[in-house]
């Protein structure tokens, strides 16, 4: 970090003050020679090359502009300092630079999950710089509490805190901080342990497959397809002793939610249940279509203070809220060398027995449905409609309406 | 170790994820760039809790596949909870890839070929 600051300062110093010592004392022929060499250096992309090679921690645009400016100042041509300062202001505030500086300073794993993000603020119509945090700690986790032939049963207690902080909270489009304690029990399908011969055979097959499929280009060679078919045939045999892989989880959660200034706050207490089903073969309709469905249901009692949106509308009473999240994930095969997956997600939130004030202000029920075609590296097309309660909005939510993501 | 077809943990992960996602024609190199959202089967628009649960399910599935089907054992100083937690940490970060997961799997498990 020190080196980075030093390099930034040196570049700016050189570019701003190089002019003063370069020009006055030199004969014209030397000045002309220096000027010619500097022009050549800039034309050949010298500053950019030096930045890429030696000064990669400095934002590329700022680095090359500052070096070019420094070179021009030495040759007597001078440079536009205000443009350089403007570039510095912009580049040094970019999340990419700040995150990279944070990683260099604190290591790859930043404490508290700190990350800088650019957030689009609807109110101000401009982008604001936000610092997000996400702390997820388990106090007891992953130990089996019961040994059954079908399931691995585990208990877990965890603490989670997450939120986004901006310099001016009024311009924060994600002005919501959440702290949560969860106690849960989960059931994971137990995969029967296979024989040593099975394991050895599978190990050899996947080893051969990885080597045969380590090719360049888009079309897989025959040996890759053959090796893949052989290993997949071995995996397919597992469906003889395992019909499905399931993950079930239920528990209690207690939380405290607020805005950045802690003006609007509410406490929550509730129960939840999550279930995910994956057919391990073609034992059901889900297996035949390779569909993986999942479902999360929760009921929470919410106790808001006087500054929450609902209380400001005229009802500050405690209430129960039911929420559901249903997802379907289905591979569609390959189209024009692209792996395609269809996904559908439906989220629902509704207040149980809402007052007429809450109903009239339409704060009692929210739905969001999202459909997408995606691939292993992201979305291709998405369609989303509906709305979420403010305290459930996040960066993960897909833009409303149709959107394409082709580059 | 970077994503390598000669690494047995990487090979096992590559092969199983292909089978699990019903894909056959993909190079080892390109599959290394698969996003974690794709690996866990996350549906766009889903909640943060949904992602967390899918991450937990997938990490547990991989642990069992490595242990029950490949007879892998845990590396020294690694147990089931630590191995699952390390894989879940990578799977929960949408910008990470299968290659990143491979690195964690290689550090947590000893496969028969490398015993």
- For residue range B99-108, what is the model confidence (pLDDT) as tens digits? 999 999 999 9
Mean pLDDT computed over every residue of chain A: 81
Q: Give bridge partners of residue A330 from the DSSP assignment.
A: A342
B33 close to A (CB below 8 A): yes
A103-150: per-residue pLDDT in tens?
777 666 666 677 777 766 665 567 778 788 888 887 776 566 677 889
Mutate to test the interface with A, among B1, B3, B8, B15 (most CBs of A within 10 A): B15
Residue A368 and residue B45: Cβ atoms within 8 Å? yes
> DSSP code of A170?
G
Expressed in angstroms, the distance from the first to the final Cα of chain A is 35
Q: Which residue has the higher pLDDT, A122 or B84?
A: B84
Q: Which of A13-17, A93-97, A260-264, B75-79 has the lowest mean pLDDT?
A: A13-17
* Confidence band of A328 (pLDDT split at 50, 70, 90): very high
Cα–Cα dist A167/A260, whole Å: 10
Report pLDDT for A396.
58
Please provide residue A372's backbone torsions phi and psi, each rounded to the nearest 5 degrees. Answer: -150, 155
Mutate to test the interface with B, among A197, A222, A339 (most CBs of B within 10 A): A339
Residue B8 and residue A207: Cβ atoms within 8 Å? yes
A356-387: per-residue pLDDT in tens?
888 888 888 989 999 999 999 988 888 988 88
Structure tokens at A316: 């500050």
B114 close to A (CB below 8 A): no
Please provide residue B62's backbone torsions phi and psi, each rounded to the nearest 5 degrees. Answer: -60, -40
Instruction: Tell me what percent of the residues of chain A surpass a pLDDT of 70.
Output: 82
**Considering only CA atoms, which of B106, B112, B96 is closest in space to residue B34?**
B96
Q: Are A203 and B112 in contact (CB under 8 A)?
A: yes
Q: Which residue has the higher pLDDT, B35 or A95?
A: B35
* Confidence band of A43 (pLDDT split at 50, 70, 90): confident
Report pLDDT for A148.
83
Residue of chain B with shortest Cα separation from A273: B53
Which of A276, A334, A345 is facing B25, going by the closest CB pair? A334
Residue of chain A with shortest Cα separation from B23: A333
Does the ipTM surpass 0.90? yes
Report pLDDT for A395.
54
B9-40: per-residue pLDDT in tens?
999 999 999 999 999 889 999 999 999 999 99
* Confidence band of A336 (pLDDT split at 50, 70, 90): confident
Section A77-101 average pLDDT: 76
B115 close to A (CB below 8 A): no
Residues 57-96 of B with CB under 8 A from A: 57, 60-61, 64-65, 67-71, 80-82, 84-85
Report pLDDT for A211.
96
Question: Does the structure show a pLDDT above 70 at A209?
Answer: yes
Q: Which residue has the higher pLDDT, B93 or A176?
A: B93
Report pLDDT for A312.
85
CA distance B44 to chain A (A): 7
HSE of A139 in the Cβ direction (CA atoms, 13 Å)? 8
Residue B47 and residue A347: Cβ atoms within 8 Å? yes
Question: Does the structure show a pLDDT above 50 at A1?
Answer: no
**Considering only CA atoms, which of A212, A215, A253 is closest in space to residue A229?**
A212
Residue length, chain B?
A: 115
Q: Tell me the angle at which helices A60-75 and A81-91 cross, rounded to the nearest 10 degrees.
A: 160
Cα–Cα dist A214/A316, whole Å: 62
Expressed in angstroms, the distance from the first to the final Cα of chain B is 17
What percent of the residues of chain A are helix, what percent strand, and what percent coil, each to the nearest 5? Answer: 35, 40, 25
């Amino acid at each position: 970090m020190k080196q980075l600051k030093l390099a930034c300062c040196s570049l700016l110093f050189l570019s701003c003050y190089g002019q003063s010592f370069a020009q006055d004392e030199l004969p014209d022929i030397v000045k002309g020679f220096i000027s010619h060499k500097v022009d050549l250096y800039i034309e050949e992309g010298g500053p950019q090359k030096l930045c890429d090679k030696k000064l990669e921690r400095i934002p590329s645009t700022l680095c090359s502009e500052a070096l070019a400016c420094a070179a021009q100042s030495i040759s007597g041509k001078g440079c536009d300092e205000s443009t350089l300062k403007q570039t510095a202001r912009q580049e040094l505030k970019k999340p990419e630079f700040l995150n990279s500086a944070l990683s260099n300073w604190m290591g790859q794993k930043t404490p508290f999950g700190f990350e800088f993000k650019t957030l689009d603020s609807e109110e101000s119509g401009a982008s604001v710089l936000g610092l997000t945090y996400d702390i997820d700690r388990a106090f007891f986790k992953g130990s089996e509490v019961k040994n059954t032939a079908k399931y691995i049963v585990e208990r877990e207690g965890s603490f989670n805190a997450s939120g986004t902080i901006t310099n001016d909270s009024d311009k924060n489009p994600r002005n919501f901080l959440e702290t949560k304690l969860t106690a849960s029990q989960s059931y994971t399908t137990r995969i029967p342990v296979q024989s040593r011969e099975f394991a050895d055979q599978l190990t050899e097959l996947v080893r051969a497959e990885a080597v045969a499929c380590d090719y360049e280009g888009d079309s897989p060679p025959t040996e890759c397809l053959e090796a893949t078919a052989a290993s997949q045939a071995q995996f397919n045999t597992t469906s003889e002793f395992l019909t499905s892989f399931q993950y079930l989880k239920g528990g209690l959660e207690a939380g405290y939610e607020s805005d950045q200034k802690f003006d609007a706050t509410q406490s929550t207490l509730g129960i939840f249940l999550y279930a995910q089903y994956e057919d391990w073969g073609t034992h059901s309709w889900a297996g035949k279509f390779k569909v993986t469905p999942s479902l999360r249901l929760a009921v929470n009692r919410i106790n808001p203070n006087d500054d929450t949106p609902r209380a400001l509308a005229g009802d500050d009473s405690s209430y129960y809220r039911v929420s559901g999240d249903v997802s379907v994930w289905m591979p569609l095969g390959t189209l024009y060398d692209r792996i395609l997956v269809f996904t559908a997600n439906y989220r629902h939130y509704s207040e149980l027995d809402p007052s007429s004030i809450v109903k009239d202000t339409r704060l009692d029920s929210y739905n969001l449905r999202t459909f997408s075609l995606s691939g292993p590296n992201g979305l291709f097309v998405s369609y989303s409609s509906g709305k979420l309660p403010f305290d459930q909005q996040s960066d993960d939510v897909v833009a409303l309406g149709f959107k394409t993501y082709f580059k | 170790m970077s994503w390598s077809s000669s690494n047995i943990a990487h090979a096992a992960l590559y092969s199983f994820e292909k089978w699990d996602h019903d894909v056959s024609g993909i190079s080892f190199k390109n599959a290394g760039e698969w996003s974690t959202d794709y690996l866990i089967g996350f549906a766009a628009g889903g909640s943060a809790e949904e992602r967390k649960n899918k991450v937990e399910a997938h990490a547990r599935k991989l642990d069992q596949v490595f242990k029950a089907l490949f007879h892998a054992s845990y590396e020294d100083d690694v147990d089931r909870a630590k191995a699952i937690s390390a894989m879940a940490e990578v799977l929960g970060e949408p910008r990470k890839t299968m290659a990143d997961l491979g690195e964690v799997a290689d550090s947590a498990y000893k496969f028969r070929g490398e015993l």
